[in-house]
Amino acid sequence: MAVTTQQFEGTDILEQKIESPFVAVLRRFARHRLAVASTVVLGIIVLMAVAAPLITAYDPNYNVPRDKNLPPSWEHIMGTDYVGRDVFARLLYAGRISLGIAFITVFFSDALGVVIGVISGYFGGWLDALIMRTVDFMLTLPLLPILLVLITIFSPSIKLLVIVLVLTGWVSSARLIRGQILSVREREYVEASRALAASDPRIMFRHLLPNTIAPIIVNVTLGLSGIIITEAALSYLGFGVQPPDASWGNMLQAVDQTVLNRYAWQAFFPGFAIFLTSLCFNFIGDGLRDALDPRMKL
Amino acid sequence: MVTFLIRRFFQMGLVLLLSTIVVYLILSFVPGGPLDNLLQNTDPRTRPSQADIQRQMKAMGLDKPWYLQYVTWLAGDTWLDTIGLEEYAGTRKGIIRGDWGESYKLERNRPVLEVIGRRLPDTLRLMITATVVSLVFAIPLGIYSAVKQYSKLDYLLTSFSFLGVSLPSFWFGLMLIAATLAFQRNGLFYFPPGDVLAIRSYTVPGLGVVEAKSVTDRILHLVLPVTVLSVINLAGYSRFMRSSMLEVLKQDYVRTARAKGLRERVVVLKHAMRNALIPLITIFVGTIPNIFGGALITETIFNYKGLGFLYIQSLGQRDWPIVTAFLLINAILIVIANLIADILYTVADPRIRLD
């Protein structure tokens, strides 16, 4: 009997499907309940922003002076603001701008950071030294004051906001990627592809980069959370998205003590959207970190 | 140690020089030059006279050829005749000798350093209080949740730190103001929602009449901004303390201490905690530039007229000398703070050798 059991086990192993790395990551991610919930919530937020015209009939910039400062009701589920615009409609359209800026900024700053980091880590030598000293220097600059002064000089707009955030944002991801590249640079498969006469770019972007993808993904997710808050703060201070365009940050710009005293909901909803979105990105980042590499620390 | 210090000082000088170049470059990007705003001022009460403009141009070295402008701004022009450039010699001392120029608009013709100096005490009060409060809570919380890892409180703290890093400080501040206004409206105890000091005396239920500009007045005004700053800091600091403590608790000497039969209290507080505090130097020293810079956003929300508020204000008014001074002082403090951190590390931990 013992023999047959062993045979069964043998066939089991042969017939068992090998789990692809992607499925394995998904399975581990699914165990992080908060991360899964955050993905769902974030999905809803993004969908609502994208489908804004289908969800609300109100124009985000159409003001009805007669209906200003209305409390939340069935007609205006989040009330109206100080010139009579529907807060819910503005929130949805603002989501497009805020989320759009966040995705574009993080995409470009991480892409730039990855390219610079890979080059720095792979070639080493004086180039690496130069890049890393630049990174060190940029990290010593006071970030927020510099952002503000640059935006003031070139007069604020969405395009400028993205450019400035990208130019200051690549630094930390470049440093992270460089460290990762250094740790895989001396592996055997790199030597093997070099023996096969692979070119430098091929080794860098076909062999090294895919092996550092896990920390990049986590870095991107956490970066999104940070950018959502930074953009909101800059727009709140008047240095980001300019009215009449709505962003979650600049919706709070007109909020003063009178508004807070009598119509506090006008301040509550946009800020809560920022908070919730940022929180979702943080939880997803945490879940991805656990799922992609349980030993990894960032 | 001496070689390290010499090398470090050399690096420091280099970084500072680079910072001045960056700041000067930023200013040169101002469309129409840094004096543009001054020239366009048509308000009869504040319009600068020709003499004012000449003086500002001299102060920034704009009357000189381009290769001398930065040098004049940095080191002045009193010494230019000694190197054979008599025609450009003047009376400027340059920023390295304390000549930082004068405010254009906010406080016309007052030296920038004086304007900054006057705002500094309020910012120091706010930032030092906030830092102390957050450390006082963060250190015990971090230690406790590391010692009792995976306990209820540890989970609570982890969730709290997630909330803390995702919380936009300006929204949190606005909500606090809304809450305190609601309290005030309903005749309950409340905290003043803005400003550094009150102009007139006011009554707070449960506390009686608060005299304007008294110590009580000052403290009441500090409560809300300090709360915002501390809650935001606390999230990061306590996580930092927790991971530092977890790292130390794994060390051999902690096991040795336990094996000797020391009480857990002694092991944790004496052997582990002291070492776990070392990485906190980074945080502690990192706050030095922040303490000077104030909290741009928090000061703006609470109308707290410190340095952060001044910076935003001078950007709005295009008062470039103040902007420049703020950026430069910030950069200098960051560089000095880094040096202090390095030195403190060697003092606190003999295992770290620096040469």
Residue A271 Cα, gap to closest chain B Cα (Å) = 5
Residue A296 Cα, gap to closest chain B Cα (Å) = 14
* Residue numbers of B between 167 and 186 with CB closer than 8 Å to A: 167-172, 174-175, 177-178, 181-182, 185
CATH fold for domain B115-318: MetI-like fold (1.10.3720)
Residues of A in contact with B315 (CB under 8 A): 148-149, 152
Q: How confident is the model at residue A103, as a pLDDT?
A: 96
DSSP bridge pairs for B25: none
Q: Is B113 on the interface with A (CB under 8 A)?
A: no
What 3 state SS string does chain A have? Answer: CHHHHHHHHHHHHHHCCCCCHHHHHHHHHHHCHHHHHHHHHHHHHHHHHHCHHHHCCCCCCCCCHHHCCCCCCCCCCCCECCCCCEHHHHHHHHHHHHHHHHHHHHHHHHHHHHHHHHHHHHHCHHHHHHHHHHHHHHHHCCHHHHHHHHHHHCCCCHHHHHHHHHHHHHHHHHHHHHHHHHHHCCCHHHHHHHHCCCCHHHHHHHHHHHHHHHHHHHHHHHHHHHHHHHHHHHHHHCCCCCCCCCCCCHHHCCCCHHHHHHCCHHHHHHHHHHHHHHHHHHHHHHHHHHHHCCCCCC
Per-residue burial over A11-37, b = 16 or more CB atoms within 10 Å of its CB, e = otherwise:
eeeeeeeeeeeeeebeebbeebebbee
- pLDDT-derived band at B65, boundaries 50, 70, 90: confident
- pLDDT tens for B215-263 read 889 999 999 999 999 998 898 889 889 999 999 998 899 999 999 988 9
Q: Is B209 on the interface with A (CB under 8 A)?
A: no
> Is pLDDT at B61 greater than 50 in this prediction?
yes
Residues of A in contact with B331 (CB under 8 A): 140-142
Higher model confidence: residue B37 or residue B261? Answer: B261
Q: What is the mean pLDDT of residues A239-258?
A: 87
Report residue B213 as tokens. 């500009």
- pLDDT tens for A45-96 read 999 999 988 888 888 887 888 878 888 888 888 888 888 888 899 999 999 9
- pLDDT tens for B300-348 read 999 999 999 999 999 988 888 889 889 988 888 888 888 888 888 877 7
d(CA A137, CA B331): 10
> Is pLDDT at A283 greater than 60 in this prediction?
yes
CA of B52: how far to CAs of B76, B87, B173, in Å?
A: 18, 21, 41
Most confident segment among A14-18, B41-45, B140-144, B209-213: B140-144
Contact (CB<8Å) B167/A275:
yes
Contact (CB<8Å) A145/B327:
yes
Least confident of A243-257, B27-41, B306-320: B27-41
- pLDDT-derived band at A298, boundaries 50, 70, 90: very low
Q: How confident is the model at residue A142, as a pLDDT?
A: 84
Tell me how long chain A is.
298
Q: How confident is the model at residue B161, as a pLDDT?
A: 87
Contact (CB<8Å) A233/B169:
yes
Residues of B in contact with A137 (CB under 8 A): 15, 18
Contact (CB<8Å) A274/B182:
no
Higher model confidence: residue B53 or residue A101? Answer: A101
Least confident of B55-59, B95-99, B180-184: B55-59
Instruction: Say which of A142, A145, A271 has its CB closest to residue B174.
Output: A271
Q: Residues of A at the B interface (Cβ-Cβ below 8 Å)? A: 137, 140-142, 144-146, 148-150, 152-154, 225, 229, 232-233, 236-237, 252, 255, 257, 260-261, 264, 267-268, 270-272, 274-275, 278-279, 282-283, 286
Q: Specify whether the CB–CB gap between A69 and A63 falls below 8 A.
A: no
Amino acid at B36: D
Best residue in B24, B35, B166 for a mutation probing chain A (most A CBs within 10 Å): B166
> Is pLDDT at A297 greater than 50 in this prediction?
no
Q: How confident is the model at residue B77, as a pLDDT?
A: 76
Q: How confident is the model at residue A85, as a pLDDT?
A: 87
Q: How confident is the model at residue A1, as a pLDDT?
A: 44
Q: How confident is the model at residue B46, as a pLDDT?
A: 67
pTM of the predicted protein model: 0.87
Most confident segment among B32-36, B80-84, B126-130, B203-207: B126-130
* Residue numbers of B between 16 and 35 with CB closer than 8 Å to A: 18-19, 22, 26, 29-31
> Is pLDDT at A166 greater than 60 in this prediction?
yes
| Residue with the two structure tokens 């982890």 | B158
Q: What are phi and psi of B102, to 5 degrees?
A: -125, 150
> Is pLDDT at A20 greater than 70 in this prediction?
yes
d(CA B106, CA B110): 9
Best residue in A136, A152, A155 for a mutation probing chain B (most B CBs within 10 Å): A152
Q: Which positions ≥6 away from A149 have C-beta within 8 Å?
A: B26, B315, B323, B327
Residue B181 Cα, gap to closest chain A Cα (Å) = 6
Least confident of B65-79, B198-212, B215-229: B65-79
What mean pLDDT value characterizes chain A? 87
Instruction: Say which of B165, B175, B181 has its CB closest to residue A261.
Output: B181
Instruction: Say which of A145, A225, A282 has its CB closest to residue B330.
Output: A145
B234: three-class secondary structure by DSSP: helix
Least confident of A1-15, A123-137, A226-240, B33-47: A1-15
Per-residue burial over B163-186, b = 16 or more CB atoms within 10 Å of its CB, e = otherwise:
ebbbbbbbbbbbbbbbbbbebbee
Closest to A237 (Cα-Cα) out of A219, A253, A251: A253
Q: How confident is the model at residue A77, as a pLDDT?
A: 82
Count of C-beta atoms within a 10 Å radius of residue A71:
13
Q: What is the mean pLDDT of residues B64-93?
A: 76
d(CA B162, CA B159): 5
Q: CA-nearest residue of chain A to B165?
A: A279
Residue B178 Cα, gap to closest chain A Cα (Å) = 5
Best residue in B8, B18, B171, B250 for a mutation probing chain A (most A CBs within 10 Å): B171
> Is pLDDT at A44 greater than 90 in this prediction?
yes
Q: Specify whether the CB–CB gap between A87 and A60 falls below 8 A.
A: no
Q: How confident is the model at residue A247, as a pLDDT?
A: 92
